[in-house]
Structures are given as structure tokens and as C-alpha cells.
Structure 1
Amino acid sequence: EVTLDSSKAGHVLNEKLTVENALRGLLMPSGNDSANVLAAATARKAENDEDMSFAKCEAVFTDLMNKKAEELGAVNSHFTNAHGYHDENHYSCAYDMALFAMAFMQNETLAEIVSEKSFSGNGADGQFADDPEVITQDYNWVSHNYLITDNEYQYAYATGIKTGFTDEAGECLTASAEKGDMKLISLLFKGSDPARWTESASLLEYGFNNYARVELTAAGAAIEEVPLTKHNKLQGDTVPLVYQNALVTYLPTNAVDSVETTVTILDDYKVEEKDGTVKVKAPLTKGEEIATVTYTIDGKEVAQMPAYAGADIEKGTIFNNIWYGLKTFFSHLFSLKGLITVVVIVLILAIIYLILKRMRYGGGYGGGYRRRGGYTLKSPSRRRGRRRW
């Protein structure tokens, strides 16, 4: 059920073909008939109803499309059919199409199909060659994307994606390219030929020449150690703040070294001390989202990601705090510094003891005299000469 003037892949009623080849029919020659075949099959499977009318299938499928668009973060898109033929209530925008294109290219099968220049073969991949009652067709499809195919507009780094045209939208192209470690997507609406090929290539070249792919942090890497409060001190006084996934973005080449990082602890975990120090409140579970990390250049936000606790942290109790105090004391006591301190204290006490003992039994350090039961510190002077009285 497609209009006579729409592009078609050439399917016939009751034909058997693989899902992958139905996707090829949709993506390479822009087959609106392929789009309807895929929509009907998806809707009937989703509703578990093989007898569903096509009108109902289209309603179910476009509802799925609109929900997926919302899930991807679309801001100005609404779909009423599966093939994109003009309808006042069927629309999108460049921003949303970029979101859809990024999600699309993450699927390896779809990315492979849109990189193909052509396809020749049986629609069912020859699975029913020995069964004459099963209808299949052999196809020779050529991609409508001139950035991919061999012609004067071919772009060396192009990898996809899809052309489009209606009288109202003009010549459109969502293009992708890969050069080194950079993968880019460009959008061009309301264009004309050959400008949509040349301008799309220029957009992609500009991206490659003026932007750099930057990995702001690796997956699982610690961003920083955040101080703790109300925690079991036996587990340390900080918790590592980590990402679950790598944070990769594209930045202007002259701004890569100007990125500033700001960590914001979520309110449920934040405790601010009197001196302004921000700490994270225990208990914490490893993998629990506790902060947001924002990257800026000259005050402009370029990326933002949630950050997570990198370890389990127990809440502090009187028992583990006492144990921590004892452990700290004995650890200090048996350290080299602690041993030296103990030796010095013992020597001082020994000297004090000896001084007190001498003062008790010898009257101090002054001149002493013999006395019974004691000892002499100093003997009396001997008199000179003798006198008899």
C-alpha cells in the first residue's frame, strides 16, 4: 500500500524475503514498499496478531516510532507512517535526525547495509530454491547515496546513511563518515542536487579538520577521591568517584586543553562542613549514583555525566570508631616514630626515678656526712696537727 509516485524496492504480494534484505530494500533504493513490509511484520509480532489489518499495523508501528523518538530525546518529531511520504503531522528536525542517526549507526547490521554500494541476489538468500510454490525474487539494488557509490560526488570517508525526498522537504541527506578515530554525522534538509552531495562532504570535512575526538575519562576510572563523613573509618576517609562508561566527546581542536571539571554531589549525599568542605554521607553502595560531573569550556557546558560510588562504605558506629581509635593508637605506638617516643619517655622516667631516690636517701647533691646505716657522698676534712687538752 504505497502511492504510485513513491520510490519502491519492487516487492510482490506473498513474496518471501529475509528481514535483512527487506532492510536493504528500504535503505538502498529507498523502497517505501519495504518500509510497509517491515512495519506490518513488526506490528503483528508486537501485538501477537498475524491477521491484523495494515491500517492497524501502521497505527501500532508509528506509535512505536513515536515512543522510540521520545526515548532517544527527540524534541520536535512526530510520525504517522513508516515510509516518510508527506503528511502534515509527519515531521522531524535536524537535531532529532542526528539523534536517530547516532542510534542507527550503533546497530552493526544497519551500519553495514548503508555502507554497501549495491546488492545483487535472492531476496530470501536462496532458502526456497527447491520449493517452486514459494515466491521469491532476485534483486539488483544500487544505493541512492552518491557519497557511497562510484561517481564524481563520492566522498572517500563516507560510510552512509540515507537519502530522502518529497516536494515539500526537498532533497535531503543524512550522511556519516569515518576518518581515523573520528566518526561524524551531517544533516542537510531542503537541498537540491548536486548541492546535497558537495555540501554534505564539506560539512564532514569541516568537522574532521576543526574538531578532535576526546576521551574525557575511561570507563571505571576514578575521577577523584571524595571525603567521607558519618562513615566507618576503618574503610578509609574517602570514596573513589567513578564513571560506569567512558565519556567521549568532540571538541574544537583549539579548546581541548581548556576543559574544566566540576563535581557536584547530589543533595541526598551532600554534607557541607563549616569551613565549606563538601563531604559524602555514608552509608554507600558501590555503583550508587552520588554525583554529577560537568565539563565546561569558558563557562559553556560541553558534557555532563553521572558519577558513582566506587566502593561499599558502611555507616560509622561507636564500636568501629572505638576499634579505629585503638588501631590507630597501636599503629602509632609500634611505628619507628612511636618506638623512639616510647624510649625517650622511658629514659626520662628512669632519670626522674634516680634523682628522686638519691634525694630521699642522700639529702640531695650537697656535702654529706657519714652516718650509721647510710653511705658517704663527701667525707669531712681532716684536721691539721694535734692538740691535747
Structure 2
Amino acid sequence: MKRKMKKILAGLLCIAAVTMPASGVSAADAEEEAKQSYALPVQSNEIENWPEGPAVYGKSAIVIDADTKAVLYAKNIDDEHYPASITKVMTALLAAENGDLETGRVTISQESVDFLEPGDAYIGMRPGEEISLTDALYGVLLASANEVSYAVAENIGNTLSGTGTGYEKFVAAMNDRAGELGATHTHFVNPHGLQDENHYTSAHDMALISSELFSHPELMEIMQTYEHTIGPTNLETESRTFQQRHEMLVNWNDHYYEYCVGGKTGYTDEAGNTLITLADNGKMHLVCVEMETRGQHIYDDTRSILDYAFENFTRQEVDSSVLEQAQEEAHATVTETEPVYVSLPADASQEDLKFETGEENGESMLYLTYEGQTVGKAKADVDEKAVARKEKEEQGTASVLDIIKNVFEGRQWIVIAAAAAVIIVAVVILILVFRRRRRRSFLRTGRRQKRLERQRRRRMKRAARRSRRRGRKRW
């Protein structure tokens, strides 16, 4: 009975540590910080012809379509934050991809227990205990047990290639896998999310990582469970029972959300509240992530931006005519065997889609964009030479336009206009001088001709007088 009471007390302390505000931050300070975050701009609201989304209290927030990876709502989505326990989504994903949930076992090491500090979430595992990998992932995702997360990393890491301990190899694999999923602002240094200044991620990165959970029904089942019990182990005769902490999954909670199908909570003094929420209304699979939220706003924020996304966007299969247009304009032939989808504002048309090409994990991709935002993508064969020619032509046109734009946007046009005026004036002066000289030359020539003519006439008159005188003498 005494041991049982200790475990109950430990469990209550763990729950309190995760759900209570930071001891060093008063409620008033938290609310003031929340108000300041609420006033931060929502970048997706600045996109032309894009539905306007609500303000939220988190410093960063995002909603993406898990199937198309289109960003539907964006508030500082690439800012780096401490993730706290939402880190464990990456831990669970990597364990499911590299372990066997039917037969895999996890042994609790001395190190996985010794690193814990007062207030850290745990379920009282003892060094040397063995549990199934499935039970371990329930402990990771439902109870947010830090000692179990550490042990999962050690045990799965021992099966991975590379150098270092199993724990070190697992953390390295976390970063590698995050990069494969498109993360660009993430650096993990542990599998549990306890505070470390070098352990950070972004809302966008966590949304991309979490979207992969939809491909793992075994993890979705774990996240949707309200209560789980780990039975007696090789060292413990009593069972351990713990409950779901994501309030939107608990149907008698005020924050219950009918479309919520999974997620993970997180909290540390430094990170504030962090939350991942997966939602499915039968038409779209959405992932919502909010980070560094103070006060008690994170569930209301999540509901408002999920409702916004469901009400204002649709997931559509791309028409074959659009893909033909992409082939003509972007020189990319889609190689996907499955239909290609885009996530568009409800009143948008596929005729407004534009096309770009790129590469992901060594594969050529076609990106479909709307108002400059990627709303869908597909693997494609790309005619690189044709694309290069097109880019060269566009760059040439852009260079000329940029020169003109730069000239007229800056003060250079004043200098150029002045120079042009000087040149014009100089040309006019030269013309006038030339004409004047020509006229003078013409006048001089005319006067000379007249003088010569007068001289000729005088000679003729003299000759005529001489002739008359000689004639009179002769007669």
C-alpha cells in the first residue's frame, strides 16, 4: 500500500509539472506576454486572394494539409523555438519506423533514470525493467514519460548503423529523418524535449514531421487512446495506468474537438505551451502546431485555426488538362501513379495554378502554386535543358526590367535625365554652329562671285571702249 501511494503521488506530481504554469512566470506576466504575441502579424493574411485567418496567442502557429503539405495558415512558421515534449512525436515516429511493435522490447537503463530531475514527467520505471516497444510508445505519447523516451532511444539506436552509443545514433537519426521530411530549422539533441538551448525546431518543421503520423495507423491508435495500462514487468508486480493528456481528444472535456484524431502536448518554463493536433473531417487531413504560448489559450487557438482551415479550403484532384498545361509550361511530366491533389481556397480555380520545378531527396518534383504559395506537388520527369533555356530567357527579360525598375525607383534617373539633356543641348548647339558656318561660307562665296562679276563687267567695258577707239582711228 505504501509503495502504491508513492506511485500515485509521483503521478500527480508529474501531471502538475506538465500542466501548471512556470513557477518563475506569474499568471499576470504570462497573460501580458500572450497579449503581445496575439498582436504579432499572421503572414498568410498578407497573401492576395487568401482567406483571412484568426489571430492567436502563440508566437508561432501553422496549419498544413498533411496530404499536399500546403500551408493554409502561417504565423512566424519558420521561427525557431524550444519544442518541449512535442519532440516525442519524432521519437515515436523513428521508433515505429525502425522497430517492431509486435515483438520489440525496451530495457530501462540506469542512465535513462539517473538523468531525471525533480518535476520531470515520468511513470516510475526502474533500471533493468523490460517492457514491450508498444507499451513504451504508449508511455512516450500518452504519459510523456521522459525515462521511457530515453530508453526507447537507447534500444532502437543500438539497431541503427553509425558510430557512437545507441542513444547518440538515435539522436543523429532524428535529425536525418527530420531533414528527409523537409525540416530546415530543426536541431534535436535529445529524444524527450527537456530544456537544452541547442534543442530547437519550428512550427513548420514539426507540422511536416507530424504529417507522417497519418501513414502509421499503429501510432494513430496509440494517440487516440484515452487510458493505457502497462502490466507487471520482470521487476514490478503492480500495473501502471496513465491517461490521455491532449484535451481535444477527451470527449467529456470542454476543449474536445470532434475532428481531432491525434496529437501531443508539451510544456517547459522556457518553451511555454506547445501543441500538435491532428484533425480529420473526412475530406482533409490537417496538422496544426502552435509554439511558445503563454496562458491558457492554446486549445482555443487550435480550434479556431482548424475551423478556419476546414471552412475555407478544399482538397481537389488536379484536372488532367492542368497537368498537360504543366507539361507544356514547366516541361515536367508527372510520374505519380496516384492522383495529384492541391489544397485551394474554396473560391479559387485550378485555372489560376502556376508551375515550378525542383528537387526533394534526390527526386525531381513539380510544384503547383497559387498566389505564390505551394498548394500541391508531385514527382515528375523534368526536361532540365528546356527548363534551363526558359530560366535563361526569363532571367534576361528580368534583367532588363530590373535595370529599368532600378533606374526609375532610385535617383539614378535624375542623373541620366540630366546627362541626356546636356547631350541634346550640345547636339543642338553643334547643329546651329554648323548651319551658321555654312551660311557664312555661302555668303562669302556669294560676295566673291559678285565681285568677280563686277570685275568681269568692268574688263568687258574697257575692252569695248578700246575696240571703239581703234575703230575710229581705222576709219
TM-score bucket of the superposed structures, by smaller chain: 0.5 to 0.7
Amino acid at match of 2:246: N
Question: 1:58 maps to what in 2?
Answer: 167
1:1-389 residue pairs with structure 2 within 5 A?
1=113, 2-46=116-160, 56-122=165-231, 135=236, 137-149=238-250, 150-216=252-318, 223-224=323-324, 242-260=335-353, 262=355, 293-298=366-371, 300-308=373-381
**2:290 & 2:132 partners in 1: Cα distance?**
31
The alpha-carbon distance between structure 1 residues 306 and 7, as it changes in their structure 2 partners (threshold 3 A), is same
| Bigger fraction of residues in strand | 1
The alpha-carbon distance between structure 1 residues 249 and 139, as it changes in their structure 2 partners (threshold 3 A), is farther
Amino acid at match of 1:244: T
Amino acid at match of 2:277: A
The alpha-carbon distance between structure 1 residues 105 and 263, as it changes in their structure 2 partners (threshold 3 A), is closer
SS at match of 2:131: coil
**1:145 & 1:265 partners in 2: Cα distance?**
37
Amino acid at match of 2:348: A
C-alpha distance after superposition, 1:167-220 (max 9, x if no partner): 1110110111111221111111111353111111111111111111112269xx
The alpha-carbon distance between structure 1 residues 296 and 100, as it changes in their structure 2 partners (threshold 3 A), is closer
**1:82 & 1:68 partners in 2: Cα distance?**
13
The alpha-carbon distance between structure 1 residues 123 and 187, as it changes in their structure 2 partners (threshold 3 A), is farther
TM-score in terms of structure 2 length: 0.49
Question: 1:356 maps to what in 2?
Answer: none
C-alpha distance after superposition, 1:91-143 (max 9, x if no partner): 1010110111011232111111111122135266xxxxxxxx66465221111
**2:349 & 2:381 partners in 1: Cα distance?**
25
**1:78 & 1:64 partners in 2: Cα distance?**
11
Question: 2:47 maps to what in 1?
Answer: none
The alpha-carbon distance between structure 1 residues 256 and 194, as it changes in their structure 2 partners (threshold 3 A), is farther
TM-score in terms of structure 1 length: 0.59
Contact 1:213–1:250 (8 Å) recurs in 2: yes
Aligned residues: CA RMSD: 3.3
Q: Report the CA distance between 1:38 and its aligned residue.
A: 0.5
Amino acid at match of 2:375: V
Contact 1:258–1:298 (8 Å) recurs in 2: no
SS at match of 1:201: helix
Q: Report the CA distance between 1:4 and its aligned residue.
A: 2.5
Contact 1:15–1:136 (8 Å) recurs in 2: no
The alpha-carbon distance between structure 1 residues 117 and 264, as it changes in their structure 2 partners (threshold 3 A), is closer
Amino acid at match of 2:159: K
**2:232 & 2:342 partners in 1: Cα distance?**
40
The alpha-carbon distance between structure 1 residues 259 and 292, as it changes in their structure 2 partners (threshold 3 A), is farther
| Bigger fraction of residues in helix | 2
Contact 2:189–2:199 (8 Å) recurs in 1: yes
Contact 2:122–2:146 (8 Å) recurs in 1: yes
Contact 1:17–1:136 (8 Å) recurs in 2: no
SS at match of 1:168: coil
SS at match of 2:348: helix
SS at match of 1:40: helix
**2:204 & 2:357 partners in 1: Cα distance?**
28
Amino acid at match of 1:248: Y
The alpha-carbon distance between structure 1 residues 16 and 137, as it changes in their structure 2 partners (threshold 3 A), is farther
C-alpha distance after superposition, 1:51-107 (max 9, x if no partner): x9xxx3332211111111111111111111111000011110101101110112321
SS at match of 1:38: helix
SS at match of 2:175: helix
